[in-house]
Amino acid sequence: MNDSDDAATQTPSPARATANPAPETTIGRTFEVPDTMTAPPRTDAEVPDYARALGLPGLADIHVHFLPQNVLDKVWEYFDNAADNYGRDWPINYRYDTDTRLNIVRELGLRAIPALTYPHKPGMAAWLNEWNAEFAAAHDDVIHCGTLYAEPESADYVPAALAAGAKLFKVHVQVGVFSPDDEVLDPAWRALEEARVPIVIHAGSAPLPGTYTGPQAVANVLAKFPQLKFVIAHMGMPEYDEFADLAERFDNVYLDTTMFAAGYFSSPAEVTPAYRERLAGLEDKVILGSDFPNIPYPYVDQIAGLAALGLGDDWMRSVLWTNGAKVLGLD
């Protein structure tokens, strides 16, 4: 399907000079960083200069969503009802057509663009994987992604997606309402483990707890497939320490920063000294994630919020670029 055509008719893009119309952050101004650190950006437009000042070639953001437009429209509809679904408003900050969104993340400095898709019901993942292959083929800088659902067919379509070149997977435990340690997934996990392909997995019990969310089922999968390259979305929010345990125990388990300390679910000031200390020790395991475009604040808030943890420029370099580039295989 031609996603761009769909998008152009459904989500008109406003005419404007720069690709990114986002308002200024509140985080960068509210929270100080130590004098020894490079001053964080205050607007999306300042993000590329900040990355350059740190000596980075760009940002390696591992948690970005591009979806078939009809699926994205449903996701946006869900967030439009966030007051009912989550108990608070969630205005999508980057509600533009596909090409505009691609250009926004390029301008922010993403050298490779994830297109994380995920099914909410059986029989959908194989189709999403086909869409992912087409979307990646149409854009040089889009990462070929894949997904799965706990269903017998995953034993076939996961190896097929890997053979077709999928480089990054996404699994959503709460939306999918299945357990990652369901045995029906064993062939899929085995194929992903052999391929050493990273899997961004939303398994934490926030913003909404699910029947199968939480660290135990992920730990069970790792006990069986210890080389699986799991990237725990949202740092495992709210089970931060339990998921940090896994990142410390397994060389191949990482944490992504998506929405952490960005001022919406948590602010830098709310991070406990003990957890902040753990994050310093996990410098090689924390990877930038943003949830673009489905975030209720400008992208810069994620960057400024992480800087406001005050863990130093080296920590920021590792998180914004080095760790993600390693896992995504970027130069």
CB of 63 to Zn ion, least distance (A): 6
SS (H, E, C) 106-147: HHHCECCECCCCCCCCCCCHHHHHHHHHHHHHHCCCECCEEE
Query: Which helix (H) or strand (E) is 168 found in, with range?
Result: strand 168-172
Q: Could you please report the per-residue DSSP string of 196-227?
A: T--EEEE-S--SS--TT-SHHHHHHHHHH-TT
Residue whose Cβ sits closest to Zn ion: 291
- Of the pair 193, 291, the CB lying nearest Zn ion is at 291
Q: How far is the CB of 200 from Zn ion (least distance, A)?
A: 8
Only one of the segments 100-108, 117-125, 290-298, 317-325 lies at the binding site for Zn ion (rule: CB under 5 A); that segment is 290-298
Of 181 and 291, CB closest to Zn ion: 291
* Total binding residues toward Zn ion, as defined by CB under 5 A: 1
Binding span for Zn ion by CB under 5 A among 41-49, 105-113, 288-296, 298-306: 288-296
x/- contact string, 113-152, with Zn ion (CB under 5 A)? ----------------------------------------
Least distance to Zn ion, CB of residue 281, Å: 26
Q: Which of 305, 289, 309, 306 is nearest to 105 (CA)?
A: 289
In the region spanning residues 291 to 320, those forming contacts with Zn ion, defined by CB under 5 A, are 291
Closest CA to 207 of 45, 102, 83, 292: 83
State the residue for tokens 């964080």.
40
Which of 97/291 has CB closer to Zn ion? Answer: 291
> CA–CA separation, 61 vs 104, rounded Å?
13
Query: How far is residue 60's CA from residue 100's CA, in Å, rounded to a whole number?
Result: 19
Q: Which is nearer to Zn ion, 233 or 308 (CB)?
A: 233
Site residues, Zn ion (CB under 5 A): 291
